[in-house]
Chains A and B, each alone.
Chain A
Amino acid sequence: MKFKTAFIYQVKRQLLSLGIFLVFWFVFTFGISFILMIVSKGDVHTTNDFTFATIAYIILLSCMMMKKDFRFFIQNGLSRGHIFLVNVLSTTLSALLLGLMTQFTLHQFTFGNGDTFRFTNIFVTIYKPSQWLISLGLIWMLLLWINSVAILVGGFLNRIRGWLRILLIIIFIISPTILVGFVGATMPTNHQITIFVAQCVGLPNGLPNIGGLSVTLSILILINLGLTYLFNRRQPIVRIDG
């Protein structure tokens, strides 16, 4: 009862904010592009990248949920475990819808032999997925990963305060250097590190490999969600007003 209500409530609110975001984005993008086309009398090639707008939206969505919905759900007697699950499921759905919108936009809104006006997504451009569904899966996973990073950062900032927060941020900043140094010491050449990183990001030998990237993203999403769960497991309501 509580879980279902919370899930429906959150999905409805996400769909509403998704609708508002898309309307603003389309109006803004089409507006600018058409003004440019009219001013140049059609002699212009306009490309609009969908990636950063969707990333910004999914981060905003995560931040909103982390604060407002958590408080509302606790007021109505939800357990923290269910709140976490509701967040994961609803953002998974939102990310899927956003992925579908991206796919639809990439394929439908192309004018003038696809050269005059078109939408792009930087990841689709890099990884060149061969099929529509693979392209959707790629965008969806990327959005889920970004969302998992956003809720992890939100959970971290909510739960960890004071000197421990500063210490962990410093460790996080210097950890890549330490990691590279450690890996460098255990691997014979820097070349192997490059190969390893390229495989992780799905670009071995400079050629796109969505499978490799998907494995990396899946692992990162699971780690992020696991850490977020640990942060939220005993998250208190912090008094704001009153």
Chain B
Amino acid sequence: MTLTIAQVSKQYRDVKVLDEISLTFEIGHIYGLLGRNGAGKSTLLNIINNRIFATSGTVVLDGQKVSDNEKALNHIFLMSEDNLYPDDLNILKLFKLTEHFYGSFDYEFAAHLVRAFKINTKTKFKKLSTGYRSIAKLIIALCVPADYIFLDEPVLGLDASHRDVFYKYLLDTFMKRPRAFIISTHLIEEITTIADEIVIIDQGAIMQSATTEQIKRSGVRVVGPEASVLAFTKEMTVMDQETLGGLTTIYVQNYPKNSIVPEDLTVSPLTLQDYFIHMTSKAGESNEI
């Protein structure tokens, strides 16, 4: 089963939020969808999940158009920051309704999650705190029988302990029943440990789509005297540049493996967060200190 996003664009009046995005999501992977605020992540997820319409382009699941197609929509599920659930229903009722809408619901796993998060299923949705609302929505998302689970800022309002529980159970359910999880988040370091594929969006366009390992390997920081750093990185793909005191740092993408590093320079790998920050740093955001 393959979910294909083909040349999807979204325009609001003069603002182009998404610009011909093309992506493929496969079952058996956990994708991290990264992007700065306003990059277009939520817009893309909302288009895929039939909440809004693309200005152009298509979303196709195994040859079937997803937009307003219930058969295809039964295979995908979006848990988002927006609350689309009725406030006056309790969590157990929401589980039951989700079961009826999707055909089944993993009550056994839901019971584990309910215990782990210590959430009362008889509580009405409107009585829950922001964190517990996220938890309730997460439990539903992890227990629906859909093959593509989109999680938009899933850990919003969750403390470190609850986030840990969530990641643990996410991996647990993924191992038991491989699906595609697409997680949009700002907590990059946390996603690094669970996502095997990373998609970076910036200003409505895909900047990079690769495995987490490839991205980790490809980014380095070169530090040293300015002239030396510039000469060494002349033929490389430079993402960003900083000057601190007399030292210059250049952030390089696709660093050649067998490069011979001059003695006055230091080359060190980037964390995914650093890679992301310097890849998406915008013109006008000066790094000069």
Q: Chain A contacts of B81 at CB under 8 A?
A: 241-242
CB-defined interface of B73-96 with A at 8 Å, one 1/0 digit per residue?
Answer: 110111011111110000000000
By the criterion CB–CB under 8 Å, are A72 and B82 in contact?
no
Q: Chain B contacts of A72 at CB under 8 A?
A: 84-86
Q: Chain A contacts of B70 at CB under 8 A?
A: 2-3, 77-79, 82
By the criterion CB–CB under 8 Å, are A80 and B68 in contact?
yes
By the criterion CB–CB under 8 Å, are B102 and A77 in contact?
yes
Contact of B51 among A69, A74, A241 (CB under 8 A): A74
- Does A81 sit at the interface, judged by CB under 8 A? yes
The segment from A93-101, A106-114, A231-239 that touches chain B is A231-239
Number of interface residues of B (CB under 8 A): 28
Number of interchain pairs (Cβ within 8 Å):
70
Which of A69, A241, A242 has most B Cβ within 10 Å? A242
Q: Chain B contacts of A2 at CB under 8 A?
A: 70, 74, 101
Bound CA span A6–B53, Å? 22
CB-defined interface of A72-90 with B at 8 Å, one 1/0 digit per residue?
Answer: 1011111111100000000
Query: Known interface pairs A9-B97, A68-B86, A71-B84. Does A79 touch B51 (Cβ–Cβ under 8 Å)?
Result: no
Q: Chain A contacts of B234 at CB under 8 A?
A: none
- Does B254 sit at the interface, judged by CB under 8 A? no
By the criterion CB–CB under 8 Å, are A5 and B82 in contact?
no
- List B residues 169-195 near A (Cβ within 8 Å): none
- Does A174 sit at the interface, judged by CB under 8 A? no
- Does B268 sit at the interface, judged by CB under 8 A? no
Q: Chain B contacts of A6 at CB under 8 A?
A: 101
- Does A164 sit at the interface, judged by CB under 8 A? no
Query: Known interface pairs A1-B101, A2-B101, A77-B74. Does A239 touch B68 (Cβ–Cβ under 8 Å)?
Result: no
Query: Known interface pairs A77-B76, A81-B68, A236-B53. Does A1 touch B83 (Cβ–Cβ under 8 Å)?
Result: no
By the criterion CB–CB under 8 Å, are A76 and B97 in contact?
yes
Q: Chain A contacts of B53 at CB under 8 A?
A: 234, 236
By the criterion CB–CB under 8 Å, are A241 and B102 in contact?
no
Q: Chain B contacts of A69 at CB under 8 A?
A: 86
The smallest beta-carbon distance between B179 and chain A, in angstroms, is: 16
By the criterion CB–CB under 8 Å, are B76 and A76 in contact?
no
- Does B280 sit at the interface, judged by CB under 8 A? no
- Does A240 sit at the interface, judged by CB under 8 A? yes
Bound CA span A100–B225, Å? 88
- List A residues 4-25 near B (Cβ within 8 Å): 5-6, 8-9
Q: Chain B contacts of A236 at CB under 8 A?
A: 46, 51-53
By the criterion CB–CB under 8 Å, are B101 and A76 in contact?
yes
By the criterion CB–CB under 8 Å, are B100 and A1 in contact?
yes
- Does B7 sit at the interface, judged by CB under 8 A? no
- Does B22 sit at the interface, judged by CB under 8 A? no
- Does B38 sit at the interface, judged by CB under 8 A? no
CB-defined interface of B42-86 with A at 8 Å, one 1/0 digit per residue?
Answer: 000010001111000000000000001110011011101111111
Bound CA span A71–B29, Å? 29
By the criterion CB–CB under 8 Å, are A239 and B82 in contact?
yes
By the criterion CB–CB under 8 Å, are A5 and B83 in contact?
no
Closest to A83 in B: B68
- Does B98 sit at the interface, judged by CB under 8 A? yes
Bound CA span A79–B70, Å? 6
Q: Chain B contacts of A78 at CB under 8 A?
A: 70, 73, 101
Closest 7 pairs between A and B when the two form their complex, measured CB to CB? A242-B81, A77-B73, A75-B84, A76-B101, A5-B100, A237-B51, A236-B52
Residues of chain A touching chain B, judged by Cβ–Cβ distance below 8 Å, are 1-3, 5-6, 8-9, 68-69, 71-72, 74-82, 234, 236-237, 239-242
Residues of chain B touching chain A, judged by Cβ–Cβ distance below 8 Å, are 46, 50-53, 68-70, 73-74, 76-78, 80-86, 97-98, 100-103, 153, 156
